[in-house]
Amino acid sequence: MYDKLLSPLDLGFTTLKNRVLMGSMHTMLEELDPTFERMAAFYAERARGQVGLIVTGGIGPNKQGLAMPIGEPFDHEEQCAKHKIVTDAVHQEGGKICMQILHVGRYGYTPENVSASATKAPISPFPARELSGDEVEQTIKDFVHCAELAQKAEYDGVEIMGSEGYLINQFIVSKTNKRTDEWGGSYENRIKLPIEIVRRTREAVGENFIIIYRLSMLDLVEGGSTWEEVVQLAKEIEKAGATIINTGIGWHEARVPTIGTIVPKGGFAWVTKRMMGEVNIPLIATNRINMPDVAEKILQDGCADMVSMARPFLADPELVLKSMEGRANEINTCIACNQACLDHTFTAQVCSCIVNPRACHETEINYLPTDQPKKIAVVGAGPAGLAASTIAAERGHHVDLFEGESEIGGQFNMAKVIPGKEEYAHSIRYYGEMIKKHNVNLHLNHRVSEQELAEGGYDEIIIATGVTPRQLDIEGIDHAKVLDYADVLYRNQEVGKRVAIIGAGGIGFDMAEYLSHDMEHESPTMNVEAYMKEWGVDMDYTRGGSLATAAQPLASPREVYLLKRSKGKHGKKLGKTTGWIHRSSLAMKKVNMLQEVTYKKVDDQGLHIHVNGKDEVLDVDHVVVCAGQVPLNTLHQSLTDKGIKAHLIGGAAEATELDAKKAIKEASYLVAAL
Ligand code: NAP
Ligand code: SF4
């Protein structure tokens, strides 16, 4: 079925069992797992899942190259033993693993930052100083030494990180390289650093060792490389001895989303396709490839020789195995939310995955078969209830899952209709499959009573009844103009041309995105050309960096006001790595963002507010309330009142922290121990 994807790739001295690379992800285990035992378990599970080649998270070749002051570079031989725990674990499972060598340059979160020149990255508070000529030489030696140590630790190869705006990229592009010595000036001088690193690494490690070079094929910053320059570098890297070229898309400081859920699936494969035929070594396509059908199409369309998926292996370590066994419908799909992976890395916490809390916690939580099957009732088929019921059933318990609505999914049913969040439907599909596979007894349209639960002979009762939108206490709140978010997103109520949204949390932002999108047009997330136009990417690569002269977003069909009572930037509490995307998107749609608003009343005239020291009336057709939620926990309360023990999880337990990540994690840890 996935003929190309599952076909081997012959590298001459070694063969990869299929065309799937598990791309590098910095999981923070590099810094926070002192023995590498957890890291070994994490990668071994992915190797067991049959991925063709794994690349580790970035490892610094020297102290200056570290992303943050914690952790250590791989620069002395005694550390090989620790790395060998990882390589042994992967090899025992029949896998192959390369170690990524990453020097972050000016992206470090440390006052010790260095770069090609003295500049400051917009995403680091610390300016960088310029490396001296001797230090550049030393940096090359450190890369080579690090690769030699990786070889001693029995990695199958290394990936040299030359993209995403890190040190090597900072040397290549003139906006960050203002040097006048042999490492600056002409393009030939600026690309000497990566070429020398690859050439000298090949000399040091010999022929039979994989060297992947991650090449920035699309910088997405002003003054980035031209296409001709990128091709020139690719050819030089091949000559210098690289085995494979992996694609890098966009510097981290680029203002075009490159991996968020808003990015179309396989949306950047066209970039790698441009490079096909320019070099004779295999090319890897990357970014937002999350399912085998997407990957297979990329290969069938001749865009690349191999595909890289990173986060999808957090969501499901068995992605390849399930593809091989015709079970792709059972894949727990990465929904590209970044909530438990990148947002964790950027806040120095160990990564995990919203839909798979076991990711990077394999030594801590396991769903082992039970030898004492219990009868379990789970009430509510939102994310918490779905995770609890399916994992409990997978372990061998007998599970009844009760849901008052006619479908499973809870809040995810609202997320999936937001343009750019269509992927949430995958999670609902996954849980639907798990319900069937593990024989969960699903009772839809069934508001289970306290009596049924009391008399059902259950050993355990889990209440995951979720939340209900918060009702506001302002004059005119029952006016026909007032809707809540569920009315709009779940019950499909029509919304007029002028609309005010009360509350600018996660759901307020989602609502603004929904209402400012013209539903006559396909969501740009579904169409690569439309997406590139919307975010200002020039697919003809007319200028260096491939940015268009201006973004061309679709106009909003409505005049939208996004209101909040508090002071400060809208969306401050959104995800660390995604908040800026939501803010930029709404700014492009010209959504009016008002802060420090007092809500006075709603009447036929519209929404009366006090803002900027004066009273105003927003003459709107509708007011949509997105002011958070309150828990739906009455069932739990009445069971407790009757002395019946029940577990309370998810939003029903704590609505103020309503959050799918917390809900699924709570459910998973609870039933892993039942
Ligand atoms: P939320 O993030 O708590 O935001 C609700 C907002 O409503 C508050 O920020 C508050 O803002 C306002 N509010 C609260 N009580 C109010 C009242 N009595 N009157 C008027 N305004 C009031 O809740 P949410 O937007 O419903 O999101 C719930 C959770 O879903 C979030 O915690 C998040 O984890 C998740 N989520 C995240 C995303 C995302 O990151 N993109 C998207 C959807 C959902 P002011 O006090 O400033 O007015
Ligand atoms: Fe994918 Fe979200 Fe899981 Fe990260 S947390 S791996 S983005 S589903």
Q: What CA–CA distance (Å, rounded) separates 8 from 16?
A: 5
Give pLDDT, residue 513. 96
Residue 283 CA: distances (Å) to CA of 25, 54, 211, 275, 294: 19, 16, 12, 8, 17
Ligand 1 atom closest to 629 (CA): 26
Mean pLDDT of 23-50: 96
- Residue 657 Cα to ligand 1 middle (Å): 9
Q: What percent of the chain has pLDDT over 70?
A: 100
Residue 171 CA: distances (Å) to CA of 121, 138, 223, 249, 542: 14, 15, 13, 17, 22
Q: Residue 499 in contact with residue 515, Cβ under 8 Å?
A: yes
Give pLDDT, residue 657. 57
Ligand 2 atom closest to 342 (CA): 4
Mean pLDDT of 497-511: 97
Among 314, 316, 345, 349, say which to mutate for ligand 2: greatest number of ligand atoms within 8 Å of CB.
314
Instruction: Indicate which residue's Cα is closest to atom 26 of ligand 1.
Output: 628
- Residue 496 Cα to ligand 1 middle (Å): 23
Give pLDDT, residue 246. 98
Q: Is 256 in the pocket of ligand 1 (CB under 6 A)?
A: no
Give pLDDT, residue 601. 97
pLDDT tens across 288-297, in order?
999 999 999 9
Where does 375-468+632-672 sit in CATH, by number? Answer: 3.40.50.720
Where does 471-518+555-627 sit in CATH, by number? Answer: 3.50.50.60
Among 474, 602, 658, 664, say which to mutate for ligand 1: greatest number of ligand atoms within 8 Å of CB.
658
Among 337, 351, 427, 578, say which to mutate for ligand 2: greatest number of ligand atoms within 8 Å of CB.
337
Check whether 94 has a pLDDT greater than 70: yes
Check whether 132 has a pLDDT greater than 90: yes
pLDDT tens across 257-288, in order?
999 999 999 999 999 999 999 999 999 999 99
- Residue 332 Cα to ligand 2 middle (Å): 10
367 is catalytic: no
The pLDDT mean for the chain works out to 96
Give pLDDT, residue 655. 74
pLDDT tens across 178-235, in order?
999 999 999 999 999 999 999 999 999 999 999 999 999 999 999 999 999 999 999 9
The counts of H helices and E strands in the chain are 23, 27
Q: What CA–CA distance (Å, rounded) separates 314 from 292?
A: 15
Give pLDDT, residue 658. 56
Residues 6 or more apart in contact with residue 104 via CB below 8 angstroms: 58, 60, 65, 66, 67, 166, 167
Q: For 438-505, where are the alpha helices, taking DSSP H only? A: 450-455, 485-489
Q: Is 5 in the pocket of ligand 1 (CB under 6 A)?
A: no
Among 513, 565, 623, say which to mutate for ligand 1: greatest number of ligand atoms within 8 Å of CB.
565
Give pLDDT, residue 280. 98
The number of angstroms, rounded, from the C-alpha of 223 to the middle of its chain's C-alpha atoms is 27
Instruction: Indicate which residue's Cα is closest to atom 2 of ligand 2.
Output: 337
Q: What CA–CA distance (Å, rounded) separates 328 from 348?
A: 33
Per-residue pLDDT band at 608 (split at 50, 70, 90):
very high
In a 10 Å sphere around its CB, with 0-12 CB exposed, 13-18 middle and 19+ buried, how is residue 520 labelled?
exposed
- Residue 196 Cα to ligand 1 middle (Å): 51
- Residue 54 Cα to ligand 2 middle (Å): 18
Give pLDDT, residue 447. 96
Per-residue pLDDT band at 27 (split at 50, 70, 90):
very high
pLDDT tens across 541-599, in order?
999 999 998 899 899 999 999 999 999 999 988 988 899 999 999 999 999 999 999 99
Kindly report the pTM of this predicted structure.
0.96
- Residue 547 Cα to ligand 1 middle (Å): 34
Q: Which ligand is nearest to the CA of 288?
A: 2
Tell whether domain 9-345 is in CATH 3.20.20.70: yes
Q: What CA–CA distance (Å, rounded) separates 159 from 24?
A: 9
Q: Which ligand is nearest to the CA of 579?
A: 1
Domain spans of the chain?
A: 9-345, 375-468+632-672, 471-518+555-627
Q: Which residues line ligand 2 (CB under 6 A)?
A: 311, 314-315, 334-341, 353-355
Q: Residue 601 in contact with residue 564, Cβ under 8 Å?
A: no
Give pLDDT, residue 639. 94
Q: Which of 129-143, 228-242, 280-294, 638-652 has the lowest mean pLDDT?
A: 638-652
pLDDT tens across 44-88, in order?
999 999 999 999 999 999 999 999 888 899 999 999 999 999 999
DSSP 12: S
CA atoms lying within 13 Å on the CB side of residue 192: 16
Check whether 659 has a pLDDT greater than 90: no
Facing residues of 214 across strands?
161, 246
Give pLDDT, residue 439. 98
Among 2, 43, 107, 166, the active-site one is 166
Q: Is 197 in the pocket of ligand 1 (CB under 6 A)?
A: no
Q: Which ligand is nearest to the CA of 312?
A: 2
Mean pLDDT of 472-476: 96
Give pLDDT, residue 115. 98
